[in-house]
Amino acid sequence: MANRPNVGQHVVPECYLKHFGGADGTIHVQEKATGRIFPSGPDGLCKEREIYTLIVDGKRNFSFESINNDIESALGPILKELRERVDLNSDDAKRRIFTYLATLTANLIARSRVLRAYMESSLDHINMFLSEHPEFFDGFPEDEYQQFLQNPQAYPELLQRFPGGTKYLGILRDWNEQNPTASVIEDTIECLKTVKGLHYQVLLKARTGATAELMVEIGAKADLLTTDIPRFISGDDPVIFLTNGLRETKIVPTNVRHWTTANRGVYLPLNPNTAVLWSAEGNYSARSISPDDVRRYNELVKQNAIRHVIASDCSDLST
């Protein structure tokens, strides 16, 4: 795959998408802009060209795509397991399942933020700049670097050379303020940290690592939600932040309040019959929810989608 142009990369993991396929593997997709519904397989769905590719020394670098692949390999088996009856009777089972789900939730949050920035073309400027000027922070004393992150306006010339920097310095700053403690999620999170030298904190490493570590550090609570009919649907931005049951759009995933405040929650459909809800009221159990609640969550999924809504059955898109 190295150095091959126009590589299609999934903005939603294929191992996640395939669990919204029907008996023959077909996923029913609704185009948000037009309402058009069409069938698709997971391999060709929710992909963008070169969205995670770096250009280093004039060559394509797929280190971020490799990280995604590592995460997908780790999460694939647990997503398959969640299609069956899940045993949450032991503490070990709960810890294993919800730890993996913390990683999945964090990675999906990261991918959707990258996609939205990619569509705005703002990340393209950052990508191009850091690729063309790898020496941007070289020789910059650490204490001044930290001062720059705290008060970039004090360095107008440097900020002027950093297109889009104002928008992304908050992410750089948040990541630099994280305590360098060992992750207890999975080795994949440690893998994410190894690319810090690229000064590429605007992408998946900071987004996934920081959010997943926060969820573990604060002991984020969750429940599995289950349904038969109607079924859960999903989309290309499947993680939904909630306040008083409504979708929240101005979010900072590493803000503790999203995970610990009573009137807030974070919802993620896992397959047509199972979803996870992170909330202060969670107790790591599985509970069936009413058809009306399923329809309410599905409507939130449609609102949150960027381009596409997906379902295992065409009828689920109209309910």
Distance CA 206, CA 171 (A): 8
pLDDT digits (tens, 9 = 90+) for 229-272: 999 999 999 999 999 999 998 887 888 889 999 999 999 999 99
Tell me what the pLDDT averaged over the chain comes to. 77
Q: What is the structure's pLDDT at 231?
A: 96
pLDDT of 194 strictly over 50: no
CA atoms within 13 A on the CB side of 122: 14
What residues contact residue 147 under an 8 Å CB cut-off, 6+ apart? 154
Q: Is the pTM of this model over 0.75?
A: no
pLDDT of 209 strictly over 50: yes
In order, the DSSP letters of 149-202 are HH-GGG-HHHHHTSTTHHHHHHHHHHHHTS--PPPSS-HHHHHHHTTGGG--TT
Q: What is the structure's pLDDT at 193?
A: 38
Q: What is the structure's pLDDT at 114?
A: 72
Residue 98 tokens read as: 């919800």
- How big, in percent rounded to 5, are the helix, strand and coil portions of the chain? 45, 15, 35
pLDDT of 96 strictly over 70: yes
**SS3 call for 230:** coil
pLDDT of 58 strictly over 80: no
What residues contact residue 214 under an 8 Å CB cut-off, 6+ apart? 220, 253, 254, 256, 259
Q: Are strands 286-288 and 222-226 parallel, antiparallel or unpaired?
A: parallel
pLDDT digits (tens, 9 = 90+) for 130-188: 556 656 655 666 667 667 666 767 777 766 666 555 555 555 555 455 444 444 434 43
* Higher-pLDDT residue of 211, 290: 290
pLDDT digits (tens, 9 = 90+) for 282-315: 999 999 999 999 999 999 999 999 889 999 999 9
Percentage of the chain with pLDDT > 90?
34
Stretch 22-26: mean pLDDT, rounded? 88
Q: What is the structure's pLDDT at 252?
A: 79
pLDDT of 5 strictly over 70: no
